A and B are shown apart, each in its own frame.
Chain A
Amino acid sequence: MLSNVGKIFFLLLIVSTIFVFSKRLIFLIRLLKLGKPEDRTDRFWERLKYTLGEVIPQRCVLKHVVRGDYAGIGHMLMFYGFALFVISYIFHIIGGFFGNIPALFGTTFNNWFALLLDIAGLVVMAAVIWAVNRRYIIRPARLKPSIDAAIIFVLVFGLMALNFVMEGFRFLSGSGHFTEWAFVGVALSSIFMSVGLQEKAYTLFHVFWWIHIIIVFCFGIYILYSKHLHILASHFNLFYHSTKPKGSTQPIMDMEEAETFGISKITEFSWKHLLDLYACTECGRCTDICPASSSGKSLKPFDLIHNLREHLLTSGKELLGKREGGKCSAMIGEVVTEDEIWACTNCMACMEVCPVAIEHIDKITGMRQYKVLMEADFAQELQLTYRNMENNSNPWGIGSHLRADWAKELGVKLLSEDPDVEYLYYVGCSGSFDDRGKKTAIAFVGILKAAGVSFGILGTEEGCCGDSAMRGGNEYLYQILAQMNIEVMNGYGVKKIITTCPHGYNALKKDYPNFGGNYEVYHHTEILADLIAQGKIKLKKPAPGLFSYHDSCFLGRYNNIYDQPRNVLKAIPGMKLVEMERNRNKSFCCGAGGARMWMEENIGERINDMRTDQAIEVNAEKIAVACPFCLTMMSDGIKDRDMEEKMEALDIAEIVWDAMDMK
């Protein structure tokens, strides 16, 4: 307990800390409010459950341990240790006025609390040493040795050390309640005694008490000025995470009335997207796993978020000064370059790996929408692709009347002939027009017929699904394409759909409901897995060579379909399957998602070549894919690496059809 003068000083200290803290906090909240409205208040309990489930067991960081990223353990130790210390600081502050608080709860509590706190202190100090070693000596590529981090390490380590020193002097001076359970404090007090500090113990206890509590307050304020804002913001960010189906996009719903489209200014992001910026922990996992970063493009998801945050904070005063919209320096071109915006393959690895639920892709799509819909300033190759989609409803611009020619001699029913079939096989552009893709479609149709599945196609009434248009920022074109398809499908009363392309799969399943298209959508690997499990197709012919399955982003990360394709492959006799190092949810993109399929890759290394190298590394002879984009990209990669004689890329439908030996 402090003297009366001490108490007054302490009260002043507390009040000024609260003042500085709240001023900054209000500033940060007002900045958030500059963002566009977005309703994220639905499903309260679900959100709360998710947040607690991520934070309390530290799943947010510990989930990475399985892939050899052990930093989460250090984070967990610091998190729990610090959580205990936060309680102790509350005791500490109240104790300044009323004396030792834990003792008020009884000796048992006091003993246990003292013991746990000392253990926590040691653990946190050890964790800091580990973290410093990791960040400044080992230096994993994803971490930048920032000043920010260094300051925090010094503060945290200092707080722990000061706590022990203070405790040592307290015991030595005989003030407060003594407990032997506080073993570090006890040990230190005997050391202090042995060096003859007993006389000055009381004074030193008070000196350290003040230093300690001032640093605690400084730490609290510093949180709001540093990347450690995540200590506060990440909980809210997790709570307000997107509850939409994973990988779905937010459509522009007021196409007709809106006067601006997309995002060109920081204030055009929704408040949740701005909260994302506060929540970033600067762990760098996103950049580490990003195929664009890994292949030497300027896009680094971490930098994107970090630079946007700096932009928001520095232009914040200006923005708030003028309220509504406010003046704001250019964002695209200055804070985020066009190369960054267009380098993204929408593979979603960054979002999958982010511990605090930051939504990177939607930000990029928003900025692309601005470039495409407002400025019409985007790659020439994409202009051609969009024009082709507009004219012929396919990206290559091949006459739309040729869409069903691949099926001419296969006796495939059209829905116009028989709308009562069980499944609509939505073929997509690749299966319809690309000679390579047609092989997949033909094989899949062969399988369906052999298994006696009732299905039909739309023929020339089918149109492009629009995924590439949407992800390339041409929302307008996408919505036209989607609505045309929905009109046709609803006209036939379509209920179940199978696609052989994960892009169409994802769009039809998750984005078409926005426009009144509600269907049960299946990817062909799901159907194949089912047919095999039910014994409806017989796999007789052994598969030759060593296979490796390449996860499509839109099937894996977007839709959690990891097992079905593998199960299908494993059902083939003599199947030798090897996993590439990056598989399942940490799979490496082929490079074609997010409309990148239709753009030249002029910067850095080719992503598909890198992925091919990963397959070569495990001596794969066949790269099994489940996506026509991946099929093209991996086939090209194999050619680029001069491995055509030894390797080939095949769709799973082709592999199954071959194993059925019915050709």
Chain B
Amino acid sequence: MAKGVWLVAEQRDGAFRKVSFEIAGAARKLADELGEEVCAILLGHGIEEIAGELGKYGVDRVYVADDVAFEQYTTDVYSAAVAKLIKENNPSILLLAASVQGKDLSSRLVGKLATGMASDCVDLKIVDGSLVATRPVFAGKCYTEVTILTTPQMASLRPNLFPTVENEKAAEVVKVDPALDAGKLKTKVLEVQKDTSGKVDLTEADIIVSGGRGMKDPENYNIIEELADALGATVGASRAAVDAGWRPQSDQVGQTGKIVSPNLYVACGISGAIQHLAGMISSKCIVAINKDPDAPILGKADYGIVDDLFKVVPEVTKELKKLLEKGE
């Protein structure tokens, strides 16, 4: 009888990715309902000491495979190792992140384990002892609930959705050696080239502060940048600002630029032509600052400030900084 809620934790350069804690939280909830244990698989090199950290987020036991072979993610190495552990331990549920790595890994695992999976899930629950996963279909217009008839019941979880749960228990760390057959591995990472700009890419940013034509001059972007710094945000721009040559094309948000969906989008001096809206309308919270009360963006914003952005933005930045100082 399959038992245990398992998950694959993701780390990069020796630090957990936030989504790992989110899956741990979700796994904890399911395990509590089933009365089972939460076990995590952690693969990497030089990561043994971070393994225990997962305990804080609800994991009971962590299987750590610390080997130079796991230093960089490759589909065949990771999937072989995980599949081996899962086959040996036979858990009832296996959760992964619907991240770039998780999507790649999970699809291979489904094949290796000959089981079913619900991908990109937004909610999980237990009904009659089985996992029921909720996932969006038709570009988010509907949700379907799916259940998986084979074990392990696999699901990948959409990042930034599941809450983390704090748990004072320490996790038991079990070292494992999946003893992979090196001869069967087909890929090897030769080199990793990172984006060195140091900026968070617009499409991945949690918070974006964008400026449009209302900025009037490229010099004025410093007030946008100051606000962005205070918020830990990435700076974006409307097409008009890019066209005017004030901002690089890579900053453009909109139909012909980047499509973004941050938690917070601050639009300063952007009228909100449909080409721009098409690129940011799915943001969770939209704040618009515009002196024109008829600007279409104000109709789409959760919060609108009708005033001169040159007055408002520095004021907001100042107040924000004060709040942050108090907070620390």
Q: Which of A392, A396, A602 contacts B255 (CB 8 A)?
A: A396
- Cβ 8 A contact of B273, one of A392, A606, A632: A632
CA distance A436 to B277 in the complex (A): 12
Whether a CB of chain B sits under 8 angstroms from the CB of A433 is yes
Inter-chain contact B240/A639, CB cutoff 8 Å: yes
Rounded to whole Å, the gap between the CB of B275 and the closest CB of chain A is 8
A398 contacts B278, C-beta separation under 8 Å: yes
Contacts of B275 in A (CB 8 A): 396, 632
Alpha-carbon gap, A49 to B259, bound state (A): 54
Chain A, Cβ-Cβ closest to B299: A435
Provide the residues of chain A in CB contact with B255, threshold 8 Å.
Answer: 381, 384-385, 395-396, 598
A398 touches B281 (CB 8 A): yes
Q: Which residue of B lies closest to A397 (CB)?
A: B278
Chain A-chain B contacts (Cβ-Cβ < 8 Å), number: 49
Measured CA separation A464–B213 after assembly (Å):
30
B interface, size bucket: 20 to 34
CA of A636 to CA of B256, assembled, Å: 15
- Partner of A598 from B139, B243, B256, B259 at Cβ < 8 Å: B256
Contact residues in A for B249 (Cβ distance below 8 Å)? 600, 602
A516 lies within 8 A of chain B by Cβ: no
Interface residues of A in 379-395 (CB under 8 A from B): 381, 384-385, 388, 391-392, 395
Determine the distance from Cα of A606 to Cα of B244 in the docked complex, in whole angstroms: 12
A193 within 8 A of B: no
Residue of A nearest to B294 (CB): A435
Q: How far is the CA of A343 from the CA of B149 in the complex (A)?
A: 53
User: A396 touching B213 by the CB < 8 A rule?
Assistant: no
The distance in angstroms between the C-alpha atoms of A398 and B296, with both chains bound, is 15
How many of chain A's residues touch chain B, expressed as a range? Answer: 20 to 34
* Alpha-carbon distance A381/B296, docked complex (angstroms): 23
Residues of A250-293 at the interface with B, using a CB-CB cut-off of 8 Å, are none
The smallest beta-carbon distance between A638 and chain B, in angstroms, is 11
Contact with A along B283-302 (1 / 0, CB 8 A): 00000000000001001000
Q: How far is the CA of A437 from the CA of B296 in the complex (A)?
A: 12
A339 neighbours in B (Cβ, 8 Å): none
Pair A391/B138 contact, Cβ less than 8 Å: yes
CB distance from A107 to the nearest CB of B (A): 76
Decide yes or no: A600 and B256 within 8 Å by CB, A392-B139, A435-B274 being known contacts: yes
Partner of B278, one of A396, A436, A599: A396
Nearest B residue to A606 via CB reads B243
Partner of B274, one of A384, A399, A434: A434
Q: Which residue of B lies closest to A635 (CB)?
A: B273
Chain B residues whose CB sits within 8 angstroms of the CB of A395 once the complex forms: 255, 278
Bits for B220-253, please: 1 = Cβ < 8 Å to A, else 0.
0000000000000000000010011000010000
- Chain B residues contacting A640 (CB-CB under 8 Å) are 240, 243-244
A401 CA to B281 CA, complexed, in Å: 16
Q: Is B326 interfacial (CB-CB < 8 Å)?
A: no
Closest to A382 in B: B256
A636 to B271, CA, bound (A): 12
**Are A436 and B281 within 8 A (Cβ)?**
no
Q: Are A399 and B278 in contact (CB under 8 A)?
A: no
Query: In the complex, what residue of chain A is closest to B243 when comparing beta carbons?
Result: A640
The 8 A CB mask of A345-369 against B (1 = contact, 0 = none) is: 0000000000000000000000000
Q: Are B240 and A599 in contact (CB under 8 A)?
A: no
Say if the beta carbon of B141 comes within 8 Å of chain A: yes
* List of A residues within 8 angstroms of B277 by Cβ: 396, 398
B-contact 0/1 string along A36-63, CB 8 Å cutoff: 0000000000000000000000000000
Across the two chains, which residue of chain A brings its CB closest to B296? A435
| Contacting residues, chain A, for B278 (C-beta < 8 A) | 388, 395-398
Residues of A within 8 A of B240 (CB): 636, 639-640
Residues of chain B lying within 8 A (CB to CB) of residue A434? 274
Instruction: List residues of chain A with CB within 8 A of the CB of B213.
Output: 639
CA distance A598 to B278 in the complex (A): 11
**Which residue of chain B lies nearest to A602 when distances are taken between CB atoms in the complex?**
B249
Are A436 and B138 interface neighbours, CB within 8 A? no
Q: Which listed residue, B139, B243, B273, touches A391 by the CB 8 Å rule?
A: B139
Q: Binary interface profile of A, 485-518, with partner B (CB < 8 Å = 1, else 0)?
A: 0000000000000000000000000000000000
> How many Å from the CB of A591 to the closest CB on chain B?
13
Residue of B139, B274, B299 ringed by the most chain A CB atoms within 10 A: B274
Q: How far is the CA of A207 from the CA of B138 in the complex (A)?
A: 85
A399 to B272, CA, bound (A): 17
Q: Among B249, B272, B277, which residue has the most Cβ atoms of chain A within 10 A?
A: B277
Contacts of A599 in B (CB 8 A): 256
Residues of B within 8 A of A433 (CB): 274
Is B274's CB under 8 angstroms from A396's CB?
A: yes
A399 to B281 CA separation, bound complex (whole angstroms): 11
Residue of A nearest to B300 (CB): A435
Q: Mark B114-144, 1 if CB is under 8 A from A, else 0.
A: 0000000000000000000000001101000
A391-B139, A399-B141 known; A384 vs B259 contact (CB < 8 Å) = yes
Of the candidates A381, A435, A600, A632, the one having the most CB atoms from chain B within 10 angstroms of its own CB is A435
Q: Which of B138, B256, B273 is the most central at the interface, judged by chain A CB atoms within 10 Å of its CB?
A: B256
Task: Please measure, in the bound complex, the distance between the C-alpha atom of A421 and the C-alpha atom of B255, giving whole angstroms.
Answer: 36
| Residues in B26-72 with C-beta less than 8 Å from chain A | none
Which of chain B's residues have a CB closer than 8 A to the CB of A636?
240, 273
Other CB < 8 Å A-B pairs besides A398-B278, A436-B296, 17 of them?
A396-B255, A396-B275, A396-B278, A433-B274, A435-B272, A435-B274, A435-B299, A437-B274, A600-B249, A600-B256, A602-B249, A606-B243, A632-B273, A636-B273, A639-B213, A639-B240, A640-B240
Name 7 interchain pairs, CB-CB below 8 A, sorted by A. Answer: A384-B259, A388-B278, A391-B139, A396-B274, A398-B277, A399-B141, A640-B244
